[in-house]
Amino acid sequence: MDLSTLDRFTLNNLLVIMLRIRLFEEALFRAFMTEKMPGTMHQTTGQEAIAAGISQVLQSGDVMTSTHRGHGHAIAKGVSLNQMMAEMYARTTGVSAGMGGSMHMFDLDRGFLGTTGVVGAGLPIAVGAALALKLDGKANIAVAFFGEGAANQGAVHEALNMAAVWKLPVLFVCENNHYAVSTGFERSFAIERVAERAPGYGMPGLTVDGNDVLAVYTAADQAVTRARNGEGPYFLECITYRHKGHSRFEPASYRSKDELETWLKKDPIERYKQLLASEGIFSDEELQGIGEKVRDEIQQALEYAHHSPLVEAGPALALAFRKPVGER
Amino acid sequence: MTGVRTLNMSQAINEALREEMARDAKVIILGEDVGQFGGAFQVTKKLLDEFGAERVRDTPLSEAAIIGCAVGAALMGYRPVAEIQYSDFVACGFDQLVNQAAKIHLMSGGKACVPMVVRLPIGAREHGAQHDQSPEAWFMHTPGLKVVIPSTPYDAKGLLKTAIRDPNPVVFCEHKVLYGTQSVGGRGLPDQAVDSIDPGYQVPEEDYQIPFGQASIKRNGKDLTIVATALMVQRALRAAEVLAAEGIEVEVFDPRTLVPFDQEALIASIQKTHRLLIVTEETLTASSSAEIAAIVAQDAFDWLDAPIVRLGTPDIPLPFAPTIQEAIIPNVERILFTARDLVEKRI
């Protein structure tokens, strides 16, 4: 790829976002190992290029729905690391005031319509958000992330069809990491690529190397241009691999060592850093500096979380409903 | 009162939708056949002509996408009203309603809200086990959903306006027999409940709202409280008429909203009558009547002179056969003899 067509600012952002995601989750993993971090998490380690690549084609006012493996999406959408970390620690300063945890992070101010604990559930919601954007006459789009496992959910089928019928501005991003918990791709699909289904809905589908952040970025750029022009939704499948198990300490013993080794060599961050260095975009010192800066951000987020108060039951009891205006 | 007409419930709901759509451009309608067709029960009739296809949206046959789309639009500031053709079909979109819509407010720490209404035609009409259910208790058991169940056109109009303006997801249960319309291509309804003399069918043209959590005493009495919902309110009123001639004064208590529930008003009624009969069309186990009985047993036990009695449909998937439906769904006769037994201390 010819890097000269890309500005240094974007190239930098792609790296910074991938590093934030990687280091944020590494900090979480340590916290689960060494402290009593509550709840659970699903690491996106190895898949960071997808969220990062998409993030650089988004504009203010665009919205996003995420998955159970959603820290990366939230970070890519600009949700505060401090607030995300506080949420993981169940603190009142969390992005969902400590009421959601890893799988229920919402930040409407930043157009982040939530991680979700139900696989595939984000897609119909993204369709509704895109309908709202269209009715408002905005040129904004909705991005819906989902895994290849989710692609077999009925709600996903319904959402893809509805978006296509109504020509809604949705970018559907399928993160194909080959495994739905333990069940491998070939045991759930009778086709080679999930994107093969897209034409059946009447929308274009493209499969790209999801570990190549520039490939994701370039493909996403085309896809969103189409959506912003009112030409309807787009299906982008990104082939990737999760380095870790499904959740927390799940050992992923259903995968061969060879397979894992092969994919570790395709680590999207290392690949991108090597490219940036070999093309002379950033020097080794500059790359190191970027890493240090992100490390500081994560450290700061940990301190922010630790210094925030724990949530209490009292306020939760009043949160099932929003109080209507004028009601006491 | 000027501009008062006799409307059936279908017309009253249609009017509420029309007025709310005219008042607030953010109100949109989603559902199967809600546009040109006017809805399976004609509830959205002619709204397409007035508000256009962008706001009155015929959807693919996709309940998860209908409800999920409403959730997404609601998060973006719209106030969608989703019609599910028959309440039974809400099962196809259950996740979006009970796991997404209901929980987002709490899960977001109160930062996001989901102002949407899901309209569910409920109740038996000789269509069988997948078209005749009264599933309101499914939603009572899901914190984060408000559950509304009107028994008259007047209440339906005022309650739907409140539902549309509420910042939370509201499940709005509409009994198909009370619509007073027949489904397109269908025959007349087996139990024509439209009664132009009933004040509940007198609906003013003006804008009015009925607050949630405020029960309606449909008839005052001192000997027995009958709590009833939807079509059973009409049957309880007919039974009360007969019982009055026998010297038994029945209070007919319509909660109108199951969530929130007007506990205070019910306890006040029990303090007056000391007897409680609960009549709903639901199958009995874990129904709304079970919850209401539990409330009274716990908080008004000392005021009761007799056991709480519930009437409902037995716990079977409901067959379509008229002979069976007539035999097992609570009717005026069963209300009558149960009420007499209660008042005359045979229970």
How do the domains of chain B map onto residue ranges?
7-204, 216-343
Which residue of chain B has the CA closest to A90? B109
List chain B residues with CB under 8 Å of A136.
Answer: 76
Which residue of chain B has the CA closest to A153? B64
Is B64 within 8 Å of A129 when comparing Cβ atoms? no
List chain B residues with CB under 8 Å of A314.
Answer: none
Does A322 fall in a domain?
no
Nearest to A100 among B67, B109, B168 (CB): B109
Does A314 fall in a domain?
no
Is A125 within 8 Å of B72 when comparing Cβ atoms? yes
Nearest to A154 among B64, B80, B107 (CB): B64
pLDDT tens-digit readout, B196-209: 456 788 999 999 99
Count CA atoms within 13 Å of residue A159 on its CB side.
41
Ordered per-residue pLDDT tens for chain A, 328 residues: 678 889 999 999 999 999 999 999 999 999 999 988 999 999 999 999 999 999 999 999 999 999 999 999 999 999 999 999 999 999 999 999 999 999 999 999 999 999 999 999 999 999 999 999 999 999 999 999 999 999 999 999 999 999 999 999 999 999 999 999 999 999 999 999 999 999 999 999 999 999 999 999 999 999 999 999 999 999 999 999 999 999 988 999 999 999 999 999 999 999 999 999 999 999 999 999 999 999 999 999 999 999 999 999 999 999 999 999 877 6
Write down the pLDDT at residue B184: 59
List chain B residues with CB under 8 Å of A233.
Answer: none
- For residue A139, the enclosing domain spans 3-308
Partner A contacted by B143 (CB < 8 A): yes
CATH of domain B216-343: 3.40.50.920
Query: Which of B219, B180, B230 lies closest to B6, judged by CA?
Result: B180
pLDDT tens-digit readout, A103-150: 999 999 999 999 999 999 999 999 999 999 999 999 999 999 999 999
Does A24 fall in a domain?
yes
pTM: 0.96
Partner A contacted by B112 (CB < 8 A): yes
Does A29 fall in a domain?
yes
Q: What is the CATH number of the domain that holds A261?
A: 3.40.50.970
Nearest to B106 among A95, A131, A320 (CB): A320
Does A194 fall in a domain?
yes
Partner B contacted by A16 (CB < 8 A): no
Give the B window 11-70 contacts with A, CB below 8 Å.
Answer: 28, 54-55, 57, 59-60, 62-65, 67-70
Ordered per-residue pLDDT tens for chain B, 347 residues: 568 889 999 999 999 999 999 999 999 999 999 999 999 999 999 999 999 999 999 999 999 999 999 999 999 999 999 999 999 999 999 999 999 999 999 999 999 999 999 999 999 999 999 999 999 999 999 999 999 999 999 999 999 999 999 999 999 999 999 998 655 555 544 444 444 456 788 999 999 999 999 999 999 999 999 999 999 999 999 999 999 999 999 999 999 999 999 999 999 999 999 999 999 999 999 999 999 999 999 999 999 999 999 999 999 999 999 999 999 999 999 999 999 999 998 87
Partner A contacted by B144 (CB < 8 A): yes
Neighbours of B322 (CB within 10 A): 10
Q: Do domains B7-204 and B216-343 have the same CATH topology?
A: yes
- Fold classification of B7-204 is Rossmann fold (3.40.50)
Does A316 fall in a domain?
no
Partner A contacted by B302 (CB < 8 A): no
**What value of ipTM does the predicted structure carry?**
0.97
Write down the pLDDT at residue B188: 46
Which residue of chain A has the CA closest to B213? A327
Q: Which class for A234: exposed (0-12), middle (13-18), buried (19 or more C-beta within 10 A)?
A: buried
Does A272 fall in a domain?
yes
Does A327 fall in a domain?
no
pLDDT tens-digit readout, A230-250: 999 999 999 999 999 999 889
Is A96 within 8 Å of B111 when comparing Cβ atoms? yes
- Catalytic positions of B are 131
As for how many domains chain A has, the answer is 1
